[in-house]
Amino acid sequence: MKVTVIGLGYLGATHAVAMAELGHEVIGIEPDSKKLESLAAGILPFHEPGLDAALPKAISSGKLTFQSEHNENSASADLHFICVGTPQTKGSDAADTTYVVAAAKELAKWIKPTAVVAGKSTVPVGTAATLKTAMTEIAGFEVHLAWNPEFLREGTALEDSLKPDRIVVGTWSQHSVDVLREVYAPILATGTPFLELDVPTAELVKVAANAFLATKISFINAMAEVAEVSGADAVALARAIGYDERIGNKFLRTGIGFGGGCLPKDIRGFVARAEELGVGSAVDFLKDVDAVNLRRRDKVVELAKSELGSLTGKAVTMLGISFKPDSDDLRDSPALEISQRLTALGAKVTVHDPVSLTPLATRSPELYREEDLLKAATGANLVILGTEWKHYREIDPIEFGKVVSTKTIIDGRNVLDVPKWQAAGWRVIALGRNVHNG
C-alpha cells in the first residue's frame, strides 16, 4: 500500500520505518529540514535502539523515501498517517493541537477521495471530529478520517510498533476500517487484537492508558512517602502487592517518578480537556498523580540539602539524565530537573549519561558533562542515580568508592544492590526505603 507518514518525530519516524518493514511504500513528510536531511541520510536524529539500524535498511530497500511537503507523489497515497506532536501549551496544561490542525488542513488540499487519513497523535477527545469537518470543507468531499492511537514506548519503539498488544481504530466509515485492516494485515495475521471503536473512544483510549500508567507509578510513590516516615520499604511493598494478579507487578517501580514527552503532558492535557467538557472533577485525581510525581523531585533536593548542608560549591554527580534508559530524551526528565535545581542552589553538578550528553549540552549547558564514569564521580560529595541505565547497576562500589570524596549515593530508581554498596562502605539513601547505613 502507498502510505505517507506526516511528522517524523519519535512516533512518526518509528511508524514510517515500521510501515516500510511491513512492505508498504512509505513517504515520510517532515518540514524541519535538519531532521529531514538526517533521516534521509539514514541517521536517526535521536537515540532509539533497533530503529537506528532499521532506518538505513528501509531506505536502501527503496520502501522509504522522504519529502518536506506534499506533492503529486504523496497525493496519490491510499493512506496518510498524521504523527505530528501535541505538546503541552505554553502557560497552560492543555495539549497544543496547532500542529495536528495545520497538518490535517494542508493534507486536505492534496488528498484523493478514496484515501484514508489515520490520526496517530495523542489528542484531546473531540479533536478528530473538528478535524473531519475542517478537512471535508477544504477537500470538497467527505474525508475518511480515522483515529488510530499508538502505544509505543521509547527504548522499544520499533518492537512495540511491529508487535503491539493491540491495534485500536476509531472510524466513521467501513472503508477506513478495511484500509487500516489491510495496512496492518501482517501484524493482524499474528493474532494481534484489532479493536474497532467509535472515534471519541479511540481518542480516549490513549490518554486513559497513559493516565492509568501514571496513576500506578504515583500510587507506589505515594506509598513511598508513607514508607519513608513509617520505617517501611516501598520496594518490598510493591513486590508484595504485585503478586495479586488484579494489581500486577508492572509499573510499580518506586523512585523519582515519571517524565518524558507523554505521561506528564498527557495527564495535564486530560484534566484540561475534562474541565472544558464540564467533567473536571472526574479526573481531578490526576492533579494529585502529577503532584505526587513532582514531590519525588522535591524529596531528592531536600535529601541533598540534608546530606550536604549548604550546596554552594558542593560536587554532585548525576548518573543518568534522560527520562528513562535506552533513550536520550530529556523532555520533563526528573533527573534533569533535579540537576538544574541543585545547580541553582549552588552545587556543581556533573552529569554522566551513556547517550544524552550531546542533547544536554544544548538543553542545559550550565550542567557539567563527563563521558567517563569514574571521572564524573571524582571528588563527588554526593552521587545521585537518576536514570536506571544498566551501566549503573554494574558499577563496582569498591572501585567507585575510591574516587568520590564522600561515599553517599541516593538511589533514585531503586536499582542498586544495597547490601553490596553498604558492604563497600557506602551510605545508600534509597527512595521509599529506610536504608542509610554505611
Q: Which residues are CB-contacts of 383 (< 8 A; sequence separation ≥ 6)?
A: 316, 317, 319, 377, 404, 408, 409, 410
For strands 144-147 and 167-171, give the pairing: antiparallel
Binding mask 307-326 for ligand UDX (x = CB under 6 A): ----------------xx--
Q: Does 268 participate in binding ligand UDX (rule CB under 6 A)? A: no
Nearer Cβ to ligand UDX, position 143 or 234?
234
Site for ligand UDX in 371-430 (CB under 6 A): none
Question: Could you give the CA distance from residue 337 to residue 412 in angstroms, rounded to a whole number?
Answer: 13
Q: Are 353 and 339 in contact (CB under 8 A)?
A: no
Residue from 9, 45, 260, 359 touching ligand UDX (CB under 6 A): that is: 260
Q: Does 83 participate in binding ligand UDX (rule CB under 6 A)? A: no
Residue from 74, 97, 148, 210 touching ligand UDX (CB under 6 A): that is: 210
Residue from 263, 303, 304, 395 touching ligand UDX (CB under 6 A): that is: 263
Q: Are 331 and 323 in contact (CB under 8 A)?
A: yes
Site for ligand UDX in 238-257 (CB under 6 A): 251-253, 255, 257
Estimate to the nearest angstrom the gap between the alpha carbon of 71 and the chain centroid. 32
Q: Does 295 participate in binding ligand UDX (rule CB under 6 A)? A: no
Q: Does 262 participate in binding ligand UDX (rule CB under 6 A)? A: yes
Could you tell me which of 131, 80, 73, 78 has the C-alpha nearest to residue 102? 131
Nearer Cβ to ligand UDX, position 296 or 369?
296
Q: Does 213 participate in binding ligand UDX (rule CB under 6 A)? A: yes
Q: Does 433 participate in binding ligand UDX (rule CB under 6 A)? A: no
Question: Could you give the CA distance from residue 111 to residue 80 in angstroms, rounded to a whole number?
Answer: 9
Q: Does 24 participate in binding ligand UDX (rule CB under 6 A)? A: no
Q: Are 421 and 396 in contact (CB under 8 A)?
A: no
Question: Could you give the CA distance from residue 151 to residue 164 in angstroms, rounded to a whole number?
Answer: 8
- Name the active-site residue from 8, 100, 256, 262: 262
Q: Are 421 and 409 in contact (CB under 8 A)?
A: yes
Q: Supply the minimum distance, in Å, between the C-beta of residue 217 and ligand UDX.
A: 4
Q: Of 27-35, 210-218, 300-308, 344-352, which part binds ligand UDX (CB under 6 A)?
A: 210-218
Q: Supply the minimum distance, in Å, between the C-beta of residue 293 and ligand UDX.
A: 8
Distances (CA, A) of 173 to 115, 176, 184, 197, 200: 12, 5, 17, 11, 14
Task: Provide φ and ψ at 408, rounded to 5°.
Answer: -125, 130
CA atoms within 13 A of residue 144's CA, in its CB half-sphere: 19
Q: Supply the minimum distance, in Å, between the C-beta of residue 132 and ligand UDX.
A: 24
Instruction: Please work out the total of residues on this chain that contact ligand UDX, with binding judged by CB under 6 A.
Output: 19
Nearer Cβ to ligand UDX, position 24 or 324?
324
**Helix, strand, or coil here: 220?**
helix
Site for ligand UDX in 153-172 (CB under 6 A): 153-154
Q: Is 83 a catalytic residue?
A: no
Residue from 259, 354, 359, 397 touching ligand UDX (CB under 6 A): that is: 259
Q: Enter the C-alpha cell of residue 100.
A: 495536528
Q: Of 69-77, 147-155, 222-230, 367-375, which part binds ligand UDX (CB under 6 A)?
A: 147-155
Nearer Cβ to ligand UDX, position 35 or 253?
253
Q: Of 139-147, 149-157, 347-355, 357-365, which part binds ligand UDX (CB under 6 A)?
A: 149-157
Question: Could you give the CA distance from residue 200 to residue 277 in angstroms, rounded to a whole number?
Answer: 13
Could you tell me which of 163, 16, 160, 124 has the C-alpha nearest to residue 80? 16
Q: Does 66 participate in binding ligand UDX (rule CB under 6 A)? A: no
Q: Does 368 participate in binding ligand UDX (rule CB under 6 A)? A: no
Q: Enter the C-alpha cell of residue 124.
A: 484531546
Could you tell me which of 350, 416, 211 has the C-alpha nearest to residue 293? 211
Question: Could you give the CA distance from residue 106 to residue 128 in angstroms, rounded to a whole number?
Answer: 15
Q: Supply the minimum distance, in Å, between the C-beta of residue 67 and ligand UDX.
A: 26
Task: Show which residues are catalytic.
Answer: 262
Site residues (vs ligand UDX, CB under 6 A): 151-154, 210, 213, 217, 251-253, 255, 257-260, 262-263, 323-324
